[in-house]
Structure 1
Amino acid sequence: MAGFFSRYKLSLSRQELILVLITIIWGGTFLTVHHAMKFSGPFFFIGVRFAAASLLLGAIFWRSMRGMTWQEVKAGTLIGLSISLGYGLQTYGMQTITSSQSAFITAMYVPLVPLLQWIFLGRMPGLMSWIGVLLAFIGLLLLAGPSVGSVAFNVGEIVTLLSALAIAAEIILISASAGRVDVRRVTVVQLATASLFGFLLMLPNQESVPPFSPYLMWSAVGLGVASAIIQVTMNWAQRSVSPTRATVIYTGEPVWAGIVGRIAGERLPAIALLGGALIVLGVLVSELKLKRKKAAQEPAPLKCDNA
């Protein structure tokens, strides 16, 4: 077992270490969002949260906004749409499930990606991807706590699972535009877009503007600052960190969310904790790649070079 994992690089670059710190901040936001749902509808909160984030970064980077390109507008809009759907659906789900459950279900986006690539792009997942999907799916069943003899997810769990698809799209889009856009400008655009779509989604959800609440205001501002830090850091770091490495690092996010939730008094049943652990294990396994041992079968490369 030690020999198997020794094949994978465990050292972290500066960018990867910062992403690890970001997962701690990210994991801690789940509990705040969960409590904010007592005072606001999900999409209004998303709109205010990302409005605060975009205004903050816009004030910091206003000099850089003059050089905006069409490519940056396009990339920021697409990323912003995926952010609003991902965070919006996730927040909607937290009206009926705990923050710990939400965090673990959200992590399903990693093992789901290979399946989506197979369905839409015809790329067959590898063995490790299939094992990861199986582990994560079993974990999801245990975490959701289906009734005996049937599989029954509630609305919150289903909506949160859908949010995982949107978050996967966000990470893919960030990687696709990395290195070709200005991080500062595209981050402001994506946060402003996420805010706009959040407010627009209030209409189909029949939300109204909630009465003023100090907790709601400070939660939105605080999470706006956190979102600004998270998004600009992801855009910066993923210029040199591959999507595979990034998603493995993001696996720590539901773990931190579970720790924060437990400190705050959330007590998931043992079977649900086992389910969460299986989801995290499935995420990690799905990103591993088997390597064939060629060195023992092929002549030393130096002999060929000297021929």
Structure 2
Amino acid sequence: MSSFLSRYKFSIKIQEAVLMLITMLWGGTFLVVHHAMNVSGPFFFVGLRFATAALLLALVSWKILRGLRWQEFKAGAWIGIAIACGYGLQTWGMQTISSSKSAFITAMYVPLVPLLQWLFLGRMPGLMSWVGVVLAFTGLLLLAGPEGDSLAFSAGEIATLLSTLAIAAEIILISACAGKVDVRRVTIVQLAVASACAFIFMLPNGESVPAFSPYLLYSAVGLGIASAVIQVTMNWAQRSVSPTRATVIYAGEPVWAGIVGRIAGERLPGIALLGGALIVLGVIISELKLKRKKKAKSSASPEPLSENA
């Protein structure tokens, strides 16, 4: 065992540890969103959520907005559009399909990130990152436990499947502009753009502004604060964390969602617990780096011939 471990280097950056913590927070928001659908339409709730997040972050960082550059606005706008599409479509889909089926389809974003970063950024993921992604994806399938023997794609399921492309694009875009822009300015822009896009999406969806509800207000403010913290942390951490590794860490979201659900009275079957274990294993495996030993020069290797030979 010691000889096996000696071949690998296990290291967790502070940024990766922070991403794990916000993933816990991220997973804990599942029940809040689920119950909010009883008092609000999906796109209005998403718009209100991110409007609250943008406003709160702007209030504490308004001075830095004076230095907003066009590059930062453009980066924030693209990320905001991806966020609006991802959260909006996923929330819309949850109106008509079960949470387990939604989690199963959403899991597709895990293998999409390394594929998209390979296609658009030219960054080939390492072997251990690929192994970690495969394990996490397998775990997500088991954790979701799709109902029945087949997956019939309804409108809600197709919308959720499309949301995975937007989620993967968000992670790729954040990593592409990381280190080139001011994190706080870009985060405010992306939250504001995500909110505006979600409100615009209300029109084709035929949504109207719902009646006032204390739960809607509290959940929007609570998730707004959580969204601001999550987005700032993602932008900051992914300056030094690769998209593939970040994706595997984010794959822990349904694990924490399952834990919160259990506390709320839900019970996960054994196959789902196995899936959760595979996800955790995938995160650990992705942190292992294969050590490449430098080849020592052999003493028996022939010396180069001199010019006098």
Q: Place the TM-score, normalised by the shorter chain, in its bin.
A: 0.7 to 0.9
Task: Tell me by how many angstroms 1:236 deviates.
Answer: 1.3
Kindly indicate whether the alpha-carbon contact (under 8 Å) linking 1:108 and 1:279 is maintained by their aligned counterparts in 2. Answer: no
Which residue in 2 is equivalent to 1:152?
Answer: 152
| SS of equivalent to 2:257 | helix
Q: How does 1:190-229 map to 2 (within 5 A)?
A: 190-229=190-229
Alpha-carbon distance change, 253 to 303 in structure 1, aligned in 2, over 3 angstroms: farther
Q: Which amino acid aligns with 1:242?
A: S
3-state DSSP class of the match of 2:40?
Answer: coil
**CA shift for structure 1 position 176:** 0.8
1:211-252 deviation line (CA, Å, top 9, x unaligned) = 111001110110000000000111111222222332232222
Say which SS state the counterpart of residue 26 (structure 1) adopts: helix
1:302/1:101 Cα in 2 relative to 1: closer, same or farther (>3 Å)? farther
Instruction: State the Cα deviation string for residues 179-219 of structure 1 (Å, max 9, x = none).
Output: 11111111100000000000011112111111111001110
Question: How many corresponding residue pairs?
Answer: 301
Q: What is residue 89 of structure 2 aligned with on the other side?
A: 89
- Give the TM-score normalised by structure 1: 0.82
Q: Which amino acid is the alignment partner of residue 20 of structure 1? A: M
- Change beyond 3 A, Cα 1:83–1:208: same
Structure 2 distance, partners of 1:87, 1:27, is: 14
Q: Which moved more, 1:7-16 or 1:44-53?
A: 7-16
Cα deviation, residue 161, structure 1: 3.0
Q: CA deviation at 1:303?
A: 12
CA RMSD of aligned residues (A): 3.7
Which residue of structure 2 lines up, in the alignment, with residue 136 of structure 1? 137
Is there any run of 5+ residues in structure 1 with no aligned partner, and where?
A: none
Could you say if the C-alpha distance between residues 77 and 130 of structure 1 is closer, same or farther in structure 2, counting changes exceeding 3 Å? same
Q: Which runs of 5+ in 2 are unaligned?
A: 305-309
* Aligned residue number for residue 165 of structure 2: 165
Contact 1:141 1:151 in 2 (8 A): no
Q: Secondary structure of the residue that 1:267 maps to in structure 2? A: coil
Structure 2 residue 113 is the aligned partner of structure 1 residue 113: yes
Change (3 A) 1:225 1:151: closer
Are the counterparts in 2 of residues 145 and 272 from structure 1 also a CA contact under 8 Å?
no
Matches within 5 A, 1:225-304: 225-274=225-274, 291=290, 295=294, 298-300=295-297
- 2: CA distance, partners of 1:265 / 1:56: 33
Give 2:307's aligned residue. none
Cα distance, 1:111 vs. partner? 1.3
Does the C-alpha gap of structure 1 residues 98 and 73 become closer, same or farther in structure 2, counting only changes over 3 Å?
Answer: same
Answer with 1 or 2: which has the greater Rg.
2
DSSP-derived class of the 2:205 partner? coil
Relative to structure 1, the CA distance from residue 146 to residue 127 in structure 2 (aligned partners, 3 Å threshold; closer, same or farther) is: farther
Query: In structure 1, what residue type is equivalent to 2:72?
Result: E
Q: Offset of 1:95 from its aligned partner? A: 2.2
Q: Is the 8 A contact 2:135 2:282 kept in 1?
A: yes
